[in-house]
Amino acid sequence: MSQTESEVPQNYFHKPLDIPILLSGTFGELRSNHFHSGMDIKTQGRTELPVEASAEGYISRIKIQRYGYGKAIYITHPNGYQTVYAHLNHFSPDIEAYVKQAQYKKESYTIELFPAEDKIKVNQGELIAYSGNSGSSGGPHLHFEIRDSNSRPMNPFLFGFKDIQDTKAPMIRGLYAYPLTKESIVDGKRSRKKIKLSKIGKDTYKAEAIDAFGEIGFGFDAYDQFDLAYNKNGLYSAEAFENGKKIFETKFDRFSFAETRYINRMIDYAFFKEHKKRIQKLFLQSNLNLDLAQKNDHDGILRMDQDSTSITYRIDLKDYMGNTKTIQIPVETKRASELPEIEEKRTPYFAQSNYASAFDNNQIDVYIPKNALYEDTYLDIQFGFNEIKVHEYTTPLHKSMSIGFDVSEFSEEDKSKLYIAKIFPWGSYYYSNTKKKKNRFVTYTKDFGTYGLKFDNEKPTIKPVNFRDGKWMSNYRYLKLEIDDAETGIDAFHATVNGEFILMEYDYKTKILTHDFNDNAVTETRNKLKVVVTDKVGNTRIFEANFNRKK
Ligand SMILES: [Zn+2]
């Protein structure tokens, strides 16, 4: 039983779907640049399952965006908590009508609404929406969140929802030792070392004995599974012990969105970028301001500087149900007879973590704000022609840096097609959000790598999917078009019939724009459709067609 469980209401929140709960994602799970803020409830591979209010309250926010949560509802409850339901297919009829009215008024598919407290009240179990796969969702599921009154997401298991069969302890994929200072060594080496494990009990492993000197730490790569689903989920807690005394702990009860990006400091970021596997570190380093990793006064670091010391280091990895995997690691002090030389790569571009840094040549400037780097770093910066390499993609950035290009050499016509691209070593590139001032284009990015100026001369494409010019569409519910843009991507679209706005929903995954004739926006028999699509530099394509429709 978690300490926090006694501090929150038990069984106040009901499950939002009327099916047995199986999860494809757990709270705190390590994701790209963030910890997962809710639980992902499997929807049997389908969409359109009724989604119910988890408890009484009022709908305080409705958001529709192309990416992220897609269509989402937020309910504020009388006890101060908020629940969130995301990747929805559509809303219940009343809410759908309310949202569509606002979309037609704003003439926009994407929208964010904050209904007043007395506007849409809901009872526990009341239908609010239908599950879907909208936004950045990799398959049909419901993302469900509980947030405290300070908008911090909390582990839903603290409140209940524990009616899930789970008898399996977490599975460990890899265990690693890290020398942490210039004087530290592990088994004679000054680099990360993978440690061999052998099974000594059902859920107990013993590691090969390691020799170490100086400050060292450990990290693991593991996942958890429930009994009735194949999905590889995140763990609940990880604890480290030195001779039985706890020296480090992370536990996913609650975090704040402001600290979620510190995941890049908590994991071995370079290893993740190179191998697509996340090693969670069991020790603290500078510039890790993450509450869930700072549970006590200890930092998780073993200090092996007394001769002939032997320590038993132990790791306990747990899921929320308490299933535990234990790993024992014998560590002995051993000075290296001969220390390998450290090669520190010095460059003219030294950036200190506690200060902002700026570098430039005649055309290109780079600005890295204070506390964007986790460590003082000699940056590898190479200024090229209309292109710059800014350090290595394996180094994390906590905040955005800016990269600016002087474009005064380009004609006005060229400037209108020009943008800043992120360029990969193998030559492919994509649009990096480009702010255009008169003679300076700038991009803000949290990824080190190569950036350069590129042209986009191609207009977007627009293709009718279920009609052609002059077609009778009386028996059709939907009007569908496919839109695409090869280079910078779709920025905006606008559709009218006989000069009046019609709402079209856009799914970036299928590239389909859909109008629902049940909106009753199309009232005439003879109709002239006009669709305007713009890419991110402003190239515009206009599509026009006629269709007929009798009520
Ligand atoms: Zn989710």
% of the chain with per-residue pLDDT over 70: 99
User: Ligand 1 centroid to 360 CA: how many Å?
Assistant: 41
When pLDDT is averaged across residues 411-429 and rounded to a whole number, the result is 95
Mean pLDDT rounded to a whole number for the chain: 95
Length of the chain in terms of residues written: 551
Q: In 3D, which of 82, 211, 206, 222 has the Cα closest to residue 156?
A: 82
User: Ligand 1 centroid to 22 CA: how many Å?
Assistant: 13
When pLDDT is averaged across residues 477-501 and rounded to a whole number, the result is 97
Q: In 3D, which of 421, 417, 444 has the Cα closest to residue 431?
A: 421
Sign of CA dihedral 109, 114, 118, 122: positive
User: Ligand 1 centroid to 88 CA: how many Å?
Assistant: 12
User: Ligand 1 centroid to 38 CA: how many Å?
Assistant: 6
User: Ligand 1 centroid to 260 CA: how many Å?
Assistant: 14
User: Ligand 1 centroid to 253 CA: how many Å?
Assistant: 16
Beta strand ranges found along 264-392 (DSSP E): 280-281, 302-304, 310-318, 324-333, 349-351, 357-360, 364-368, 377-379, 381-383, 387-390
When pLDDT is averaged across residues 481-487 and rounded to a whole number, the result is 97
Pairing type for strands 490-497 and 526-535 reads: antiparallel
The predicted pLDDT at position 1 comes to 44
User: Ligand 1 centroid to 183 CA: how many Å?
Assistant: 42
The predicted pLDDT at position 289 comes to 86
Indicate if the pLDDT at residue 340 is higher than 80: no
Report the Cα–Cα distance between both ends of the chain, in Å, rounded.
Answer: 61
How far apart are alpha carbons 2 and 461 in whole angstroms?
A: 54
User: Ligand 1 centroid to 280 CA: how many Å?
Assistant: 20
How do residues 313-337 score in pLDDT, each as one tens digit? 999 999 999 999 999 999 999 887 7
C-alpha dihedral (16, 19, 21, 24), degrees to nearest 10: -90
The two three-digit tokens of residue 195, written as one number = 């440690």
User: Ligand 1 centroid to 76 CA: how many Å?
Assistant: 19
| Identity of residue 549 | R
How do residues 344-368 score in pLDDT, each as one tens digit? 789 999 999 999 999 999 999 999 9
The predicted pLDDT at position 3 comes to 62
How do residues 521-544 score in pLDDT, each as one tens digit? 999 999 999 999 999 999 999 999
User: Ligand 1 centroid to 86 CA: how many Å?
Assistant: 8
User: Ligand 1 centroid to 72 CA: how many Å?
Assistant: 12
Instruction: Give the pLDDT band of residue 2 (cuts 50, 70, 90).
Output: low
The predicted pLDDT at position 162 comes to 85
Residue 195 near residue 207 (C-beta atoms within 8 A): yes
How far apart are alpha carbons 530 and 496 in whole angstroms?
A: 5
Global pTM reads 0.94
How do residues 71-112 score in pLDDT, each as one tens digit? 999 999 999 999 999 999 999 999 999 999 999 999 999 999
How do residues 257-303 score in pLDDT, each as one tens digit? 999 999 999 999 999 999 999 999 999 998 888 888 876 778 999 99
